[in-house]
Amino acid sequence: MKSKIFHLKVIKIKSGCNFELSWENGKTIAAIVDYPQDLDQGYQDWKQAYINCYKNLRGKVPKSGRLTVKKDPAALLREAEARFLSIFHSWLRDGELYEIREEIAKAATDSSINRRYWVDILLTCNCPELTRLPWEAWEISTTTRTNLSGFGTIRIARVSNTIHAGISHDKIIPSIRRRARVLAILGDEKGLDFKEDRKALAHLSKLAEIKFIGWQPGKDSTNLKQEIVQEIANPRGWDILFFAGHSNETACTGGELHIAPDASLGINEIKQSLQQGIANGLKFAIFNSCDGISIAESLIALGLPHWGGDKRPVNLDIY
């Protein structure tokens, strides 16, 4: 299927947000709307209700929060989700965004196209508060939704605000191997079971060369950090970097990986190693862990082409 492509920038500036939609031949629509004061709190209430409902998470569960469980946690979660989405939808129904919504809706109901097609919205936000919002649930119009409408199916994909162009393509070592190389880092296993992760990677053994590193009882965490740094920058290069364990968003260290019961590793601590790994051919990073927005932004800013992971805490029951 062919696609129509829109670029949507949402920039938070003080108490407002600047929306700019652009598409073919330099066409643009811009609008400024107030940022709801209760939207961030609505998200935090939903997140705390989720944590209360699903205690078994891949992230470190915070000990504080506004919500206290007085009734069925699942009911509290549904209520918190409904409140949060109500605030979110009300914000995006602002009259100032009418032209932007209608332009996208018009593209998704083009009667001149007699086949199914995609309407892709490439979304760029300038802060984590915006990036983590459920944009896929945006009710673009009363007759057009982000699933199927008419012949056009609307898809929303996030694009990093920090695309890095500092690594020249002629400096990246071209891949000449018959099999891909995968570096698998298994972090702190508290409350987790890496059996399925190992099994999934084992299925790739005929197609890829896989190396596992990670914490084991009795292993010194300082030596483990050094091993991780050295392996990421291995001169032979890696095609895929895989991490399983606990992770968290952080404001100053680019995201945090829990690599051992008593040790964590900030992305900024392995920045140089990652840059060397990318220069040696690293193309894709997969993080089977929680709260990965700041990790994703950090890796993309370093020049990594592709990243996959979770934006929020993850309930282990879904695995």
- Residue percentage of the chain with pLDDT more than 90: 38
Pairwise CA distance, residues 82 & 289, whole Å: 26
Question: Average pLDDT of the chain?
Answer: 82
Kindly give, in sequence order, each residue whose CB lies less than 8 Å from that of residue 84, ignoring residues fewer than 6 positions away: 39, 42, 43, 45, 46
pTM, two decimals, is 0.67
Name the phi and psi angles at 133, rounded to 5: -65, 150
Greater pLDDT, 158 or 114: 158
pLDDT score, position 75: 87
Name the fold adopted by 169-318: Rossmann fold (3.40.50)
What residue ranges do the domains of the chain occupy? 3-37+72-158, 169-318
Q: Which of 277, 269, 308 is nearest to 292 (CA)?
A: 308
Greater pLDDT, 248 or 278: 278
pLDDT tens digits, residue range 110-132? 877 777 888 999 999 988 889 88
Reported as a pLDDT band with limits 50, 70 and 90, residue 66 is low
Task: List C-alpha distances in Å: 104 to 95, 140, 146, 158, 184.
Answer: 15, 8, 10, 16, 41
Q: Which of 22-31, 52-61, 210-219 has the lowest mean pLDDT?
A: 52-61
Question: Is pLDDT above 60 for 181?
Answer: yes
Average pLDDT (143-169) is 63
Greater pLDDT, 262 or 66: 262
pLDDT score, position 319: 44
Greater pLDDT, 116 or 92: 92
Q: Which of 293, 297, 309 is nearest to 164 (CA)?
A: 297
pLDDT tens digits, residue range 11-37? 999 899 999 999 988 999 999 999 999
Q: Which of 25-29, 206-210, 229-233 has the lowest mean pLDDT?
A: 206-210
pLDDT score, position 296: 81
Contact 201, 174 (CB under 8 A): no
Task: List C-alpha distances in Å: 261 to 128, 132, 211, 221, 255.
Answer: 27, 28, 22, 9, 17
Pairwise CA distance, residues 284 & 241, whole Å: 6
- The number of residues making up the chain comes to 319
Contact 242, 307 (CB under 8 A): no
pLDDT score, position 297: 81
Average pLDDT (267-281) is 92
pLDDT score, position 145: 44
Question: Is pLDDT above 90 for 96?
Answer: yes
Average pLDDT (296-304) is 84
pLDDT score, position 1: 58
Q: Which of 311, 213, 197 is nearest to 255 (CA)?
A: 311
